[in-house]
Structure 1
Amino acid sequence: MSTQEEALKAVHAALERERRINLHQHPIEMQFENDDLVLAGEVGNIAAKKLALELAAAAPGVGGIVDRLRVVPAERMGDGAILDHVRDALLQEPELSICDIRVWEKGHEETIRETTVELACVIQISVADGVVTLDGQVDSWGRKRMAGALAWWVPGTRDVVNALEILPPEEDSDDEVTNAIQFLLEKDPFVNESQIRVTTRNYVVTLEGEVAKEKEKEMAEADAWFVFGVDKVVNRLQVQA
């Protein structure tokens, strides 16, 4: 058996063991392109996507990962509808009010909002096959993460490529991740953030506290996964009896 065949076998076994990845309902295609392992297919949720990528990258013999995984959307939408929803969400977010908002559609760019703030951030939105891409620049990790999470919140979104650059460069940290998740939980109308404690260590997020319903527990975890840079979420939230 070749090294790559052994790697494929090891990755498949690791994916089978992870309870949040259902290969029977959502098969994942795997093949090597040179030394890089390509993962493709549609997975059940963002947790399954990120965990699959992490497990594959950790397997011996895998030089790099090419991510072609997509998430089953909560609602099937055309690219135009997704673009409109993402655009509106970014326009309505006060934290992004200093940002120019531009959309790329049908081969041309349109400026939706142009600010007068010096050194204002610029966010360009494009959508292809349900995948939202955010290009441009922002001035903080918080704004980068907020823009990405809002794009994930659109029901038709299958993936988010957050290519926003931080200018001027700013060091990232666990505290930045924690702050972004707390802010997102505050915005989520389905979550009571006052009952949830968030801690981050080496980009692994832990949620603790009490929630009223199982659905709220699931929504809080999803919000944490939506945040750029999160590698793992440990959900210790308890559902009130």
Structure 2
Amino acid sequence: MSDKPLAGRVALVTGASRGLGAAIAVVLGAAGAQVVALARNAAALEETDDAIRAAGGAPASLLALDLARGEDVDMIGPTIAQRFGRLDIVVGNAAVLGRLGPVTHLPAKDWAEVMAVNLTANWHLMRTTEPLLRASDAGRAVFVTSRRAAQPKAYWGAYGASKAALEHLAITWAQELAITPVKVNLFDPGIVRTRMRAAAMPGENPMTVPAPEEVAPKVLPLCLPSETRSGEIIRA
């Protein structure tokens, strides 16, 4: 494999300001992709850009926006089309944990936020990027999921439900695109040393958990033009 297997390709990564999203952006940038890094925090995105450059990638294009605002997400496709004229890879990584607690005790605003970011934002992302992915010779979409989707656990109701719904949505989309060159898959990174993990497991020693940089390279094969799988859940 070439050391720049994504040369000439444009890749959008959401939640790219820190953690796994930032690490994925660095991996794709180092592989030659022109990265469009998206998150709410503009200053943190600049740090991701620095890391991509340090890894030998081209300067990233930074998009600071709130994925919970559907009308803003709808403009991502047209914005990328105007800037680059193409989009080959989408990695839907951004997510929020929400409040852990009994299902019937969850405040409505916490439920709404989890669903808005983890599920509805990805639906908007599919809609706005599909024309560009279809136009690519090898459009690739990867959505980050969690074992909680298939293994419900007490107090994780909102997060687990959002990921289960995301899996259903992404696999359905993959089936609808089956006669096109677009491949859609889900990636379950397992346990990763992120801020979300620390919030969920405050008593855990973070040094016993794999760092994002250890897990992110496993996403690269799903973004390559040679990838043939679609509609699958790949677990790290």
* TM-score between both structures, scaled by the size of structure 1: 0.28
Instruction: Report which of the two structures shows the higher radius of gyration computed on alpha carbons.
Output: 1
Between the two structures, name the one with larger relative contact order (CA 8 Å, sep ≥ 6): 2
Higher helix share: 2
Higher strand share: 1
